[in-house]
Amino acid sequence: MSISVSFSRQVALLAICASGSAACSSGSAERQSSPAIAARPTTATPTQPVERAAPPTPSPEQLSGTPVALHGALHTEGAKLMDEHGAVVQLRGPSSMWLNWEQSGYASNPDLLTLMRDSWGATLVRAAMGVDAPGAYLTVPDKAERDLRAVVDNAINLGLYVIIDWHDHEALDHVEESVAFFKKMATTYGGYPNIIYEVFNEPLQLDWSTELKPYHERLVSEIRAIDPDNLIILGTPNWSQYVDDASDDPVVGENLAYTLHFYSCTHKREFRNRGDWALNRNVPVFVTEWGASHSDGGTADNPGLCLDEAELWHEWMNTHQISWAAWKLDDCPDETCYFTAGAPADGSFRPDQLTAHGAFVRDKMMTATASAQ
């Protein structure tokens, strides 16, 4: 870790190391590798222009009883996420696959999102727009934006909250593209209470105060010039795991939250300790991505689910009323994908087409919904 910490904090974070945790032995708990990223071009290649369709205009009858109709505009108070009535709200829902790699149309299918809202209890969907990966925003921006807008527009029409996720690991290499994108999103969607901005999915080994915080300050300033109040989520160092670093030197502003990602076979008590550190400083934490697998998402080279540890994470999130989005709404071979290959995208899948991870995510949404009634 590149910035100093107090003795008391070292005690809090390293208590688990007494048992010989592998995550502590090297001084870091780096997430394992993600899919290979091709070399990034310096300029985006234009493709078919984005169709500037009018923003959604759902009727009051269409939205009646939906999550956004019930909770309205969100804001933060201390470490809590609150609705417009002053009640604490804990959002839960699916995260899309990297949209540039999503082939089956799950995240953009309104029938599937309706099923997840009405039967699973989803209140949120995360639109993970790939940025620096092959076929993503930097190389085909018009297609990437169309794919993202499809998810956002469906969420608005269904009364779901929606995270607009700049799904990137190297955002400091293309700050101006990020600024231009979020200014466009704020201009188009800033008037909708559904909208949540996630301006940097998973930073790598960057120093918070000297590298990441200035980026976030720039993005917050640009968004706030257009959208004064919708929630903005800020990525934290080391694959959005060191939320404690951010809490020691937070960005000044209203309605800001900080990411904490976990994959339960890899990330255990130490990382909940980091979350506790942030919460104890009244810094809101939002788990915009989690899985019950190893940190690579459960590839064939690293199989296995750790559901007992995932249960501990959910107990922790429920205790602190932390909102979350679960990776990932797709039928890919990874164990974190919800569906087996070929499952219908319209929600008409059979029970045996839901993977073990998909069933776990479903049960976590449904249990939370039942307990809230």
What is the amino acid identity at position 112?
Answer: L
Domains of the chain: 62-372 (3.20.20.80)
* Residue 236 near residue 202, CB atoms below 8 Å: no
Is the pLDDT at 23 greater than 50? The verdict is: no
* Closest C-alpha among 315, 318, 314, 295 to residue 305: 295
pLDDT, tens digit (0-9, with 9 covering 90-100), for 97-111: 999 999 899 999 999
What is the amino acid identity at position 3?
Answer: I
Out of 35-39, 168-172, 298-302, 365-369, give the one with best mean pLDDT: 168-172
Q: Which residue has the higher pLDDT, 40 or 342?
A: 342
Confidence of residue 302 (pLDDT cuts 50, 70, 90): confident
Q: Can 222 be counted among the known catalytic residues?
A: no
* Residue 96 near residue 130, CB atoms below 8 Å: no
Is residue 372 packed enough to be buried (19+ CB in 10 Å), middle (13-18) or exposed (0-12)? exposed
Q: Which residue has the higher pLDDT, 370 or 320?
A: 320
pLDDT, tens digit (0-9, with 9 covering 90-100), for 124-151: 999 999 999 999 999 999 999 999 999 9
Is the pLDDT at 235 greater than 70? The verdict is: yes
- Return d(Cα 265, Cα 257) in angstroms, integer: 25
Helix and strand totals (H; E) in the chain: 13, 11
pLDDT, tens digit (0-9, with 9 covering 90-100), for 197-218: 999 999 999 999 999 999 999 9
pLDDT, tens digit (0-9, with 9 covering 90-100), for 48-75: 444 556 678 899 999 999 999 999 999 9
Least confident of 20-29, 225-234, 313-322: 20-29
The residue-averaged pLDDT of 323-344 equals: 96
Q: Can 202 be counted among the known catalytic residues?
A: yes
* Residue 120 near residue 352, CB atoms below 8 Å: no
Q: How is 219-281 classified by DSSP, letter by letter? A: HHHHHHTT-SSS-EEE--HHHHT-HHHHHHSPPPSSSEEEE--EETTT--HHHHHHHHHHHTT
Please tell me which residue in 102, 145, 177, 289 is annotated as part of the active site: 289
Please tell me which residue in 198, 202, 309, 335 is annotated as part of the active site: 202
- Return d(Cα 47, Cα 141) in angstroms, integer: 7
Is the pLDDT at 159 greater than 70? The verdict is: yes
Is the pLDDT at 275 greater than 60? The verdict is: yes
Q: How is 87-101 classified by DSSP, letter by letter? A: -B---EEEEEPPTTT
Please report where in the chains the tokens 């020691």 appear, as a residue: 248
> Cα separations (Å) of 346 from 45, 186, 326, 340?
32, 29, 19, 14
Is the pLDDT at 38 greater than 50? The verdict is: no
Is the pLDDT at 329 greater than 50? The verdict is: yes
